[in-house]
Amino acid sequence: YDEKYKEGPRLMKELPRAFVEKLKSLNPEEIKNIVGEYLTDKEIETVLVRRDLIIKWLDKRIKQLGEDKVLY
């Protein structure tokens, strides 16, 4: 493992469009229904903050490279 990943983690170059759309549609109620017994409300809120950061990064990447280079 160490030898293969010695350069550190690499970003995915493309993501499935369906994954990104599902990510954008996530809401607190849906997350709570799926993993509510394992996560507190604060942890669910943190998941949504991370989701927002990922979407912001994706939107920036799409603007830079074009949608066809980021989503498939």
- pLDDT digits over 13-46, tens only? 899 999 999 999 999 999 999 999 999 999 999 9
Residue 23 near residue 55, CB atoms below 8 Å: yes
Question: What is the pTM assigned to this prediction?
Answer: 0.78
Q: Per-domain residue ranges for the chain? A: 17-70
Six-digit token string for 44: 């669910």
3-state secondary structure of 27: coil
pLDDT band at 48 (very low <50, low <70, confident <90, very high): very high
In the chain, % of residues over pLDDT 90: 81
Please calculate the CA angle 50-22-35 and round it to the nearest 5 degrees.
65
